[in-house]
Amino acid sequence: MNRLLTAAALAVLPAQAGAAEDAAPADTQVMILGTYHFANPGRDVANIDVDDVLQPHRQREIAAIVDAIATWKPDRILVEAQRPAPDFHMESYAEYRAGDLRDNRNETVQIGYRLADRLGHANVYGFNEQASEGEPDYFPMGMVIETAEATGQSDVVQSFMTDIQAEVTAISAAQDFETIPESLLKENDLDAVRAHHAKYYYGLIPVGDGKDQAGAVLNARYYERNAKMMAKIDLIARPGERILVLVGSGHLYWLHHFVTEIPGYTYVSPNPYLIAADAMLESSD
């Protein structure tokens, strides 16, 4: 990003934090902060080689993000973890408030719990959706690979794998010179998110033969997962509140769609706050 940023970025932040553009008074304002997974659990098709976020310089970067978003004063913080209705409470947040979990690298703890504690929140909410035992897989990539082999379309899947691995390699290499706010700015670039979704999700729709339509099924099931996540946001949020949603950036396309299309919700970009966080870091150098 432009390294000419100065503390002037911070001067306008309180005005930005006051209200989302075009938000009606009763709208629920939702800031979706898409992230890569700080703890690198290895659950994606290709996984980023994540720099250790417990290093002192990374901790300063995370603290700057928390400081910046705290000025927006979210009323509730939702994280990508599955917790049961009706309260959706993250029980481990109480451990964090008691002084534990500080060496947990997960973004839920490093950003979500840290910010909630900073703001004095009593609870953090888990809104993730995962298939239970016996339920269909929400991302049946294995089925897509099998169908591609059976229908002579393995080149489509191979191109997918090659391109996404190259992208992940580039993201991993960029960690050598990017701050976490800079990395997250790219994760939350909506134009890039749309292009990524079109290439890596819609690009699989042709896999199938009209009877076995595995690529279409994968897209339908991933839509279903995100729709259920949005339904949980709706159960947790209250009209007029500010909600911070902390989630893997692969969910940003659909969650942004739902928040901008469902009446009563207004999307708030995290990008001005990430820019301000990077300005804080630069001014402290």
Task: Taking residues 116-145, report their average pLDDT.
Answer: 95
Report pTM. Answer: 0.90
Task: Taking residues 126-151, report their average pLDDT.
Answer: 94
Task: Taking residues 144-171, report their average pLDDT.
Answer: 94
Task: Taking residues 70-89, report their average pLDDT.
Answer: 97
Torsion angle, alpha carbons of 254, 258, 261, 262, to 10: 170
Residue 246 in contact with residue 77, Cβ under 8 Å?
Answer: yes
Q: In whole angstroms, what separates CA 200 from the centre of its chain?
A: 17
Residue 264 in contact with residue 27, Cβ under 8 Å?
Answer: yes
Range in 18-22, 97-101, 267-271 with the lowest mean pLDDT: 18-22
Q: How many CB atoms lie within 10 A of CB 88?
A: 22
pLDDT tens readout for residues 205-228: 999 998 999 999 999 999 999 999
Closest by CA position to 36, among listed 153, 165, 157, 184: 184
- Please give the pLDDT value at position 48: 74
Q: In whole angstroms, what separates CA 268 from the centre of its chain?
A: 14
Rounded to 5 degrees, φ, ψ at 248 are -55, 140
Residue 9 in contact with residue 2, Cβ under 8 Å?
Answer: no
Task: Taking residues 123-142, report their average pLDDT.
Answer: 93
Q: Does the pLDDT of residue 46 top 70, yes or no?
A: no
**What is the C-alpha separation between 195 and 22, in angstroms, rounded?**
26
What's the half-sphere exposure (Cβ side, CA atoms, 13 Å) at 236?
30
Residues above pLDDT 70, as percent of the chain = 88
- Please give the pLDDT value at position 58: 96
- Please give the pLDDT value at position 175: 87
Q: In terms of residues, how long is the chain?
A: 285
- Please give the pLDDT value at position 129: 97
Residues 37-66, buried b or exposed e (16+ Cβ, 10 A)? bbebeeeeebebebbebeeeebeebbbbbb
pLDDT tens readout for residues 2-44: 333 444 455 546 444 444 555 666 899 999 999 998 987 545 5
Range in 57-71, 104-118, 129-143, 214-228 with the lowest mean pLDDT: 129-143
Reported confidence tier of residue 50, pLDDT bands at 50, 70, 90: confident
pLDDT tens readout for residues 161-193: 999 899 889 988 888 899 999 999 999 999 999
Task: Taking residues 241-265, report their average pLDDT.
Answer: 97
* Mean pLDDT score across all residues of the chain: 90
Question: Which residues, 6+ apart, have CB-to-CB distance to 214 below 8 Å?
Answer: 140, 143, 144, 146, 147, 148, 207, 208
**What is the C-alpha separation between 190 and 219, in angstroms, rounded?**
19
